[in-house]
Amino acid sequence: MSVPSGIAMQDTPRSLALALVLGLLLACGCSPADANAGALQGSPYLGESPPGIVPVPFAPHVFTRELHSSPVFSPGGDEVFWNEMEGGAIHVMKVEHGRWSEPAVASFTLPESGEPEYAVDGDVLYFLSGHRVGESQGDFDENVWKVTRTAEGWSRPQLLGSPVNDHPMHWGVSLAANGNLYFGHTGGSEDLFVAEYRDGVYQEPVPLGEAVNTEDLETTPEVAPDESYLLFSRVVDHGRGPIDLYVSFRGEDGSWLEAVPVLGVNTAEREISPRMSPDGEYLFFLRTVNGELMPFWVDARVIENLSVSAREPRQLTNDPAFDYHPVFSPSGEEILFTSRTGESTALFRIGVEGGEPQRVPVDLEGDLYSDWAPDGASIVFDVREGGGPPDIYRFWLASGEVQRLTDHPGMDGHPSFSPAGDRIVFTSTRGGNLDIWVMDVDGGNPTRLTDHPEEDWHPRWSPDGSRILFTSGRGGDADLWVMSADGREPRQLTSMPGVEDRGFWSPDGTRIVFQSGGDLWLVDADGGEPERLTHFPGSEGNPAWSPDGRLIAFASDRGGNPDLWELVVQEGEHLRHPRE
């Protein structure tokens, strides 16, 4: 297999017949990868420990030579195929007697073969080969071939034929569950094409369109089984620049959305040949290491988060005021937020679909950092009445009754209801330092939860009531911390440069959205590497998750003025598609 024109790497011409290659391997007793591979246990993915959201090398003890395509696993996880940069052969390992076999050349390999890809059911394997099938074929023209699994093993290779193989192609094919075939086209334009599979016949291949194909070079496609997203490689500067991974998602109208870089994966090195694991949990790809393409893998959440950031947020408010601090009603039908015009601040309610905001009839002025009671009947907020330090108030929406919950010379603010609605956690300086306190819902029994020389603020109860999330300066910068509901066992969640603040739990308590550096980020509730959710050059913050987990509301100046926006996030779950 050769490298696409314009990519800055060299691929040695393969003039030797495949038989000679195999003969040399047998003569020297070599295998295409480390001979110790036979000792691997038959666990999934060659016994490697699963990666997180930071890519790591995949099985470097097995893959010791430069690869031309990423490893592709069978749906059952008991077989893996790949091809190396040199040799023109497809290699295989499979589980035999509970252990992974040593690498071997696949029985069906033709000369100049590579880029193996399973059909979704795993019973058919497609690949490209430069094996000559006619006098009109050029020196490196490639065709799509397929083999079928039988009781005796893989069948003899079959040429796919017209109209797919009427087109020049290179470096990769990918199959959707419906049989649609995606491939890299090299005739005049190096773009991605698709041939629809309709009534048992492949239709004439067509380009994917401007959202995917550009003046640069697009290659190595990997489509989701349901065609909800498409991963591929792009070589910028008309094929002369860096190679990175991109992904395009399907819009609501079925069209492909503008492709975006796979952030968290792309580096100054070259990334190419994306392949998803059959369970949809991991992304495999090749990255240059010391000038050679070697396999890496990463948790598929890096793609899921991009499915969110690739979507356009919806603007909820659009007025001259400064709108911020959104929080959803328990029903998820409304959003409570603060709006400031000049020196005047007020609370408003707006439907999750937008509309005309309705002012909450509270006559008090101040920052109005608020929260909604779990039963939806009242809200709690802090107010700097008369310009002094804030205190905490409760307001009943039906009756208009206002109850003052704190009356202290120091600062009491940032209130948040417990999930049961019987307690309120808040920030206070009544102990001499800015710490986290908790009190009964009527303001009684204030109890200090943190007592640290550094400041703690912006507490929020977990959905199950067992933990409290807060921001603290005790780690040096302002970071997110979590502790048990009684204040014990504080644990640091984030340690990014700068300030991480305004953390908000997902409804299931597994993830936290927060603001940092003018963008929104996500982090697992148990810690780990934070993942960037938005990538806007302006300022975004104050995130709040909807009770059903479908939306994140936030403040942003992407419309030119600080307004409320909301982002659909639930769709990211559709990426976890097993290929079985």
Residue 494 confidence (pLDDT): 95
DSSP E strand boundaries for 224-281: 229-235, 243-249, 260-261, 271-276
Q: What band does 487 get if pLDDT is binned at 50, 70 and 90?
A: very high
Q: What is the CATH number of the domain that holds 79?
A: 2.120.10
* pLDDT higher than 50, residue 333: yes
Q: How would you class 465 by CB atoms within 10 Å of its CB: exposed for 0-12, middle for 13-18, buried for 19 or more?
A: middle
Q: pLDDT (tens digit, 9 = 90+) per residue, 213-237?
A: 998 899 999 999 999 999 999 987 7
* pLDDT higher than 70, residue 207: yes
Residue 556 lies in a domain: yes
pTM tops 0.75:
no
- Select from 309, 337, 352 the last residue of a domain: 309
* pLDDT higher than 70, residue 18: no
DSSP-based helix, strand, coil % in the chain, nearest 5? 10, 45, 50
Q: pLDDT (tens digit, 9 = 90+) per residue, 77-124?
A: 999 999 999 888 999 999 998 899 999 999 999 988 999 999 988 899
Dmax (CA) for the chain in angstroms is 92
Residue 579 lies in a domain: no
Residue 9 lies in a domain: no
Query: DSSP secondary structure string, 468-502?
Result: EEEEESTTSS-EEEEEETTS-S-EE----SS--EE
Domain co-membership, 333 together with 255: no
Q: pLDDT (tens digit, 9 = 90+) per residue, 385-396?
A: 767 789 999 999
Domain co-membership, 449 together with 529: yes
* pLDDT higher than 70, residue 578: no
* 158-159 and 143-150 beta bridge pairing: antiparallel
Report the domain count for the chain: 2
Q: What band does 239 get if pLDDT is binned at 50, 70 and 90?
A: low
Residue count of the chain: 580
Q: What is the CATH number of the domain that holds 382?
A: 2.120.10.30
Whole domain around residue 303: which residue ranges? 18-309
Residue 259 lies in a domain: yes
Domain co-membership, 318 together with 213: no
Domain co-membership, 305 together with 396: no
Q: How many percent of the chain have pLDDT more than 70?
A: 86
- Select from 264, 288, 309 the last residue of a domain: 309
Q: What is the mean pLDDT of residues 336-353?
A: 90
- Select from 254, 289, 309 the last residue of a domain: 309
Residue 1 lies in a domain: no
Question: Which of 74-88, 184-198, 429-443 ranks highest by mean pLDDT?
Answer: 429-443
Sign (positive or negative) of CA dihedral 260, 579, 192, 107: positive
* pLDDT higher than 70, residue 460: yes
Q: pLDDT (tens digit, 9 = 90+) per residue, 506-524?
A: 998 988 999 999 999 989 8
Domain co-membership, 351 together with 268: no
Mean pLDDT over all residues of the chain?
A: 86
Domain co-membership, 296 together with 387: no
